[in-house]
Amino acid sequence: MDYCYIKIEKELKKRNFKGNRCMNNRGLKYDTGDKDILKWIKRKLIAYKLGFNITPQVIDIHPVANICNLKCAWCIGKSDSNTPVYMKWHDLEKVFNSIFEVGKEEFWPSEIHFCGCNSDPLLNKEVMKNAIQYLNERNVTIEIISNGVCLKDYISNNIEQLLLVDKISISLDVVNEQDFYSYKSLNSKICLKDIINSIEKICQNKYKTNSQLSIYTTFVATPETYSKEEWLQNFTELKNIGVNHVQVRNDYTNYDKNFYNKVKLDIEEIAIKLNAKEINYKESNSFDIKYNEYMPRNSEFEHCLGYRIWPTISADFLMYPCAHTANEYFVSLLDLKKTNYYDIYSLDDFSYYEKEPCKNCSKKCPSLIYYINQLKDIDVL
């Protein structure tokens, strides 16, 4: 395995990379302006194209599977199993110890994301509590992608710990209580207002400390739930309580081109009205709004690079090439309970994964991996 990052550094300089560190997985937390994960992944790809073996920049972790506290109409998670699976901290700690092996710091992933495809990561309190502590001690960027229902609990028990996280992305999806009940809630005890109150409390506490936490909220616009005026009002409230980023996406299971063209224009207009700017990680009150079109795609790319740049570890510790294939319908890369994480990245022959990365996957990649998979040339650093 050749990890000659000096050579990559030279190549980066040839391509006008303005940074001054050698190419490795670390440094995001120390670099004042460069939390842009896409830039880091592009640098990795240059290294890969130069023939170097690269290790993932981000790893998604699903601390729970097969159980959720909501039933969203737009949920992409599916499983034949109704048996909940909860990771045990004891097991995850062993896996973390192999990923964050002392002496291999430059190959550690720089970000760990806690999320789920048919569950919410915050349902596993034991893992979240210990994992945040563990990763924070190692200066690893932490992101939690959640539906927000459990935030209330975390706030009353240990808000300090939440404030150690770098990004919390909350999928609100809708803007009023009626739609929340119709499209998301399991019962009348779970309401949108409680989630917004939790977000507000986190923001208030964040401003009292020097927490680097950024709060993201995401929405799904559908002809039934979208209204420009109501969404503008809602986004204004979110901005006022201290949310940093609002992202609207389409419902790809029911795609109406004319409707989404209009939504896109509306969101651009709302962004101007609310003076939204590109998110700036150095400013805790930075605010932006984006429309992000997500489409199922049958792409032309031959090789999937998901396992190289952004794999997913499921609740049963199997590792998959991406978050969209992390379940029993797909072929896992390895069982982390049996195989050491770095063993797979030091294999000389990776041809199986490169030729057949994801049996049955239909190439419906997560957005950023899709972008990377179909990239013909890397032009921006």
- Give the footprint of ligand SF4 on this chain (CB under 6 A): 68, 70-72, 75, 77, 116, 118-120, 147, 304, 306, 321-322, 324-325, 357-358, 361, 363-365, 369
At 254, list the tokens.
């029911």
Dihedral over Cα of 247, 79, 65, 363: its sign? negative
> Are 299 and 373 within 8 A, CB to CB?
yes
Nearest approach, Cβ of residue 323 and ligand SF4 (Å): 8
Nearest approach, Cβ of residue 193 and ligand SF4 (Å): 17
Instruction: Give the C-alpha distances (Å, rounded to integers) separating 240 from 209, 234, 243, 285.
Output: 18, 10, 7, 10
* CB nearer to ligand SF4: pick between 135 and 174: 174
* CB nearer to ligand SF4: pick between 3 and 350: 350
Nearest approach, Cβ of residue 292 and ligand SF4 (Å): 16
Amino acid at 294: Y
* CB nearer to ligand SF4: pick between 153 and 160: 153
What lies within 8 Å, CB to CB, of 85 at 6+ separation is 64, 65, 66, 315, 316
Nearest approach, Cβ of residue 252 and ligand SF4 (Å): 14
In this structure, are strands 318-320 and 312-313 parallel, antiparallel, or unpaired? antiparallel
Nearest approach, Cβ of residue 1 and ligand SF4 (Å): 22
* CB nearer to ligand SF4: pick between 2 and 224: 224
* CB nearer to ligand SF4: pick between 34 and 354: 354
Nearest approach, Cβ of residue 224 and ligand SF4 (Å): 17
Nearest approach, Cβ of residue 306 and ligand SF4 (Å): 3
330 secondary structure, DSSP code: S
* CB nearer to ligand SF4: pick between 71 and 337: 71
Nearest approach, Cβ of residue 141 and ligand SF4 (Å): 21
Query: 71-109: buried (b, 16+ CB within 10 Å) or exposed (e) per residue?
Result: ebbbeebeeeeeeebbbebeebeebbeebbeeeeeebbb
**Three-state SS for 370?**
helix
Instruction: Give the C-alpha distances (Å, rounded to integers) separating 133 from 56, 59, 110, 163.
Output: 21, 17, 15, 11
Give the H/E segment covering residue 40. helix 37-49
Return the C-alpha torsion angle 276, 279, 285, 287, nearest 10.
30
339 secondary structure, DSSP code: S
Nearest approach, Cβ of residue 340 and ligand SF4 (Å): 22
Cβ count within 10 A of residue 192: 21
* CB nearer to ligand SF4: pick between 28 and 195: 195
* CB nearer to ligand SF4: pick between 75 and 232: 75
Q: Which residue has the tokens 């797909």?
A: 330
DSSP string, 90-129: HHHHHHHHHHT-TT-GGGS-SEEEE--SSS-GGG-HHHHH
* CB nearer to ligand SF4: pick between 43 and 308: 308
> Are 234 and 206 within 8 A, CB to CB?
no
* CB nearer to ligand SF4: pick between 240 and 299: 299
Nearest approach, Cβ of residue 153 and ligand SF4 (Å): 16
